[in-house]
Structure 1
Amino acid sequence: MHCRPSPQKPLTERTERTSCQPSAGRRWAVLGIVSVALFLISIDGSVLFTALPVLSKDLGATAGQQLWILNAYTVVMSGLLLGAGTLGDKLGHRRMFLFGMAVFGVASLACALAYSPGTLIAARVLLAVGAAPMMPATLALIRLTFTDARQRNTAIAVWSMVSVVGAVVGPVVGGLLLEHFHWGSVFLINVPLIVAAIALGAAVIPRDEPDRSRPWDAVSSLLATVALAAGVLAVEEAARVPPSWAKVAAGLAIAAVLGAAFVRRQRRLDDPLLPLDVFAIPRFTAGVVAAVVTLVAVSGLGLVVAQRFQLVAGYSPFQAGLLLVVLAVGALPSSLVGGMLLNRIGERAPIVWGFAVGALGASIALLGVDSPGWFVAGLVVTGIGLGAPASVASSAIVTSVPASRAGMASSVEEVSYEFGNVLATAFFGGGILFVYGLAVDLPAGAPAGAATSLNEALRVSSDPRVVSAAMDAYDTAFTVVLAAVALVCLVGASVVSRLLRETAPGGADEPGGER
């Protein structure tokens, strides 16, 4: 099925980019296929939370290498997403989706066969190169396939639910596989699913008509990628004990200079990679803020909970991952309800109240760290709170602009979530090392490496005094991160409330957007 553009209006003025639509069954089949792809991408962002201690031991990865094994995927993908989405507008989102899946499958195999920290980091970079064109294409294809506003909001809610659930169950999948197989299995499992998705996608996904006249700016994409990587490097170095402040300053300077160059370039281009005027749309900006905050909270919790309960409480990887399923249990219903009620109540209420409930849940988890029942209850409440903002944020971003810019909007949505993931890994991953370094009180004669991280302390010493001191310091850092998650949720609620204070529920407040 090849839908051709309607001749009545130019592409940039149309509400929808195609004049024919697939059948109802085919529309939901498209949703199923892109959801599978999104699920794999989301899992790969968090599956290493439980696998990291095991693979770090097998590969001999240092604390810095561990952070980049986690960060390489999200940093590179975040930098490439804007360019990938705009390229999808130019070349076609179906084509970008199938191409990205093929690269993702090859990269998954490369990750599974990695034999050193360096090769694994390089393979994770290639994994990001495959994921970058896939992610905006998944949402753009939904945007272009579902023309009915209510069906589209429901489809986007399902899409958002899959994204959050994938990020949450990634540690469970990793833990389950590690119970029985080598750590490379957490990547190898992607390959047969990717092959099946490519075959089905080629048969079911309708061809979209690209706008080949639209330019594509590779320089802007490169500026965004390098600026983001430099900023993460600076945060990582600042978390070291002691840090090299010269490296921190250099990283921040590079990030600031290239970030400013990116902004200036967007303002100068006739057809920018990211039109900055979209941030003047309150719904769009509120959606971006909500997406970032949601993933900061979800990924931050996933990172520290999975590792704390393995290293301190003695859980197996699977048990630690299973603990995070309760986040998904809470998020599933609220994500779907938020999407289905969006036309009636608008974005402000589900996002603001969702973040408030998320902050309450993180606080309960913080107070119940030593009580499994209360801790699990806190995670459930946190999931209930964060589910609605996740689905509503995606819809707010994508429907605030005309369908002809579906790729750009989808890219911004994806960048927002991935940037939240990067921030969580960089600040909470680095922050827990920083607080650990300040809090640890090692006995005389302890190996120097024990002061850098709990992982390193367990590796270099079996002295019960050293192990106990290291675990106490890690628990201190863990409680600080939980408190930070609650604070981030409250700040997000405040910012979104101000942005949407004059937005009418149930209707679009921008001429380019639609419900």
Structure 2
Amino acid sequence: MSDVRDPGAPEPGASPVSGARRWLVLAAVSAGLLLISVDMTVLYTALPTLSSDLGASASERLWIINAYPLVMAGLLLGAGTLGDRVGHKRMYLVGLVLFGAASLAAAYAASPAVLVAARAFLAVGAAAMMPATLSLIRVTFEDERERGIAIGVWGTMAMVGAAIGPIVGGALLEFFWWGSVFLVNVPIVLAALVLAAVVAPGGSGGSDRPWDVVASAQVMVGLVGVVYAIKELTGPEPSAVAVVVAALAAVGGLWSFVRRQRGQAHPLIDFSLFRDPRILVGVLAAGMAMFALAGVQLVLTQRLQLVLGFTPLQAGTTVAAMALGSLPVGVVVGALLHRVGTRPMIVAGLATSALGTVVVAVASAAPLAWTVAGLLVIGAGTAAAMTAASAAIVGNAPAHRAGMAASVEEVSYELGSLSGVAVLGSLMAAVYTRTVVLPAGAPPWAAEGMDEARAAAGELDSGGSAELLDAAARAFDNGYLATLVIAAGVLLVSAVFALLHGRGRRDGAPAAAPGQEGQVNNEMRFCE
């Protein structure tokens, strides 16, 4: 007897969800997803303040940001499988508890090392929650149109959370200490915990799918190696030994992960999924949209504060224009996908985001209104691309791989965000270090970053201080413009790839599993 289960059917032991309760389930999982996304970017505006208070170095600042998406990306695939085994409601509730506890630990961290550890602990809770959010939506919404709207809301929450993270951080720093950006999570966790416990459909899961801890560790080692190699290569004084060790760890971890997956009866990733161009394009679009979003937010919020002198709240309010641009788009796109198709929406969304990024780059010497306009365009484009990508991945996976497809989708989000911060953040720092021309009398360590230059300026007389800050600002802007150009180029190339790859294949029903040709879930049809 086949163990294949329709991904839209309730979990074993679950009860059907009807009436307004469905939308309460959506509210409960949206709150969790919003928390996960906000914590991805909330430190962008808080980073200068907490760096000063904790005495964090440039390397420690990078890991304070990267520990969260890095650990989460490494655990997501295993967490999705564990949810299939123990039940997605249970995973979501456990994830909320872990997230709340980690938020308390991060809020009262006494050193950069403790904060990095707390951020990693936050990622454990987020990894438990994130696959369960989409799985619970699939279980709860049986009507095709309602499910499309719910997935649109789901995708929009991811985008909005990432976009409002900086403004949340900025607003809290206006009145409280930097730990408040984590402490604010606790009441939201408690509310989502109560709501999900009452309204979310339960289920015992299935014991037929093992949880591969080894594979999760392998992929995490590989990702840590990749990020550390990038950080070291773009640092002011790269160490050849560190780069080689990190590269070996990356290659070894990822190679062993791929090899293990090919020999597993229940792999965390079935790489044959990527033979479907619709799924491949969706994964690429999701990753590249988050790559640009995270990178642009990081460099822009830093420039607004360190170069233009904005307060954290002012910087966060400016960057939140992305959220305003995305709010209506995700739901509208979700409602139109069955008519327009996923590929045109992905191409249009990525191209629109690229255009917005160019506008933000050109507007660096223009009035702030032009930057805000560019951010609105980026938000609209990213929301369209992410919503269509979600539908392309989940809607075109065969029924027996639906849970795996959801995990792959979420990993693409996290890897996109992680690589955007690591690559674009490191690129900006590298360009700054290599182009800054320190005036006479300035300490050499002012070349390490804009934060260090500002600290060094406080030790000089007024003339020397102004000269150093001017030189640092010019170098910072060199890096800022370079990162925006790279981000726009990546989005444009991704749009062209999405347009051309697999054009002969039409979006339609998910592919059937071997021997399951008559049992394909044909709930979601998306035509090109």
* Superposition TM-score tier, normalisation by shorter sequence: over 0.9
Counterpart-to-counterpart distance in 1, 2:5 and 2:69: 34
* 1:13 Cα deviation after fit: 4.8
Query: Structure 2 residue aligned with 1:501, among 489, 500, 503?
Result: 503
* 1:424 Cα deviation after fit: 0.7
Query: Which residue pairs with 1:124 in the alignment?
Result: 119
Query: Structure 1 residue aligned with 2:469, among 467, 470, 481?
Result: 467
The answer to whether the aligner puts 1:57 opposite 2:52 as a matched pair is: yes
**Are the structure 2 counterparts of residues 205 and 175 from structure 1 closer, same or farther at C-alpha, using a change threshold of 3 Å?**
same
Query: Structure 2 residue aligned with 1:287, among 268, 282, 291?
Result: 282
Query: Which residue pairs with 1:423 in the alignment?
Result: 419
Query: Which residue pairs with 2:344 in the alignment?
Result: 349
Counterpart-to-counterpart distance in 2, 1:380 and 1:174: 20
- Per-residue Cα deviation, 1:150-205 (whole angstroms, up to 9, x for no partner): 21111011001010000000000000000000100000011111111111111110
* Amino acid in the other structure paired with 1:408: M
User: Residues 209-288 of structure 1: matches in 2 within 5 Å?
Assistant: 209-288=204-283
CA contact (8 A) 1:109 1:188 kept: yes
* Amino acid in the other structure paired with 1:249: V
* Amino acid in the other structure paired with 1:258: G
CA contact (8 A) 1:94 1:205 kept: yes
3-state SS of 1:467 partner: helix
The answer to whether the aligner puts 1:97 opposite 2:98 as a matched pair is: no
CA contact (8 A) 2:295 2:420 kept: yes
Counterpart-to-counterpart distance in 1, 2:365 and 2:236: 28
Counterpart-to-counterpart distance in 1, 2:437 and 2:258: 45
TM-score, length of structure 2 as denominator length: 0.93
3-state SS of 1:24 partner: coil
Structure 1 stretches lacking a partner, 5+ long:
1-8
Counterpart-to-counterpart distance in 1, 2:495 and 2:181: 35
Which 4+ residue blocks in structure 1 deviate beyond 4 angstroms? Answer: none
3-state SS of 1:201 partner: helix
Number of equivalences: 506
- Per-residue Cα deviation, 1:45-69 (whole angstroms, up to 9, x for no partner): 1000000000000000000000000
Query: Which residue pairs with 2:481 in the alignment?
Result: 479
* Amino acid in the other structure paired with 1:476: N
3-state SS of 1:399 partner: helix
RMSD, aligned α-carbons: 1.5
TM-score, length of structure 1 as denominator length: 0.96
* Amino acid in the other structure paired with 1:475: D
- Per-residue Cα deviation, 1:287-309 (whole angstroms, up to 9, x for no partner): 11011011011111110111100
Query: Which residue pairs with 1:396 in the alignment?
Result: 392
User: Residues 57-456 of structure 1: matches in 2 within 5 Å?
Assistant: 57-371=52-366, 372-456=368-452
CA contact (8 A) 1:96 1:137 kept: yes
Name whichever of 252-261 and 415-424 sits farther off: 252-261
3-state SS of 1:253 partner: helix
CA contact (8 A) 1:143 1:406 kept: no
* 1:402 Cα deviation after fit: 4.1
* 1:356 Cα deviation after fit: 1.1
CA contact (8 A) 1:11 1:17 kept: no
* 1:464 Cα deviation after fit: 1.4
* Amino acid in the other structure paired with 2:149: T
CA contact (8 A) 1:144 1:403 kept: no
Structure 2 stretches lacking a partner, 5+ long:
459-464, 513-519
Query: Which residue pairs with 2:35 in the alignment?
Result: 40
Query: Which residue pairs with 2:461 in the alignment?
Result: none
Counterpart-to-counterpart distance in 2, 1:218 and 1:496: 34
CA contact (8 A) 2:230 2:426 kept: yes
CA contact (8 A) 1:446 1:466 kept: yes
Name whichever of 459-468 and 257-266 sits farther off: 459-468
* 1:242 Cα deviation after fit: 2.1
Counterpart-to-counterpart distance in 1, 2:7 and 2:441: 70
* 1:209 Cα deviation after fit: 4.1
* Amino acid in the other structure paired with 2:485: A
Counterpart-to-counterpart distance in 2, 1:97 and 1:469: 49
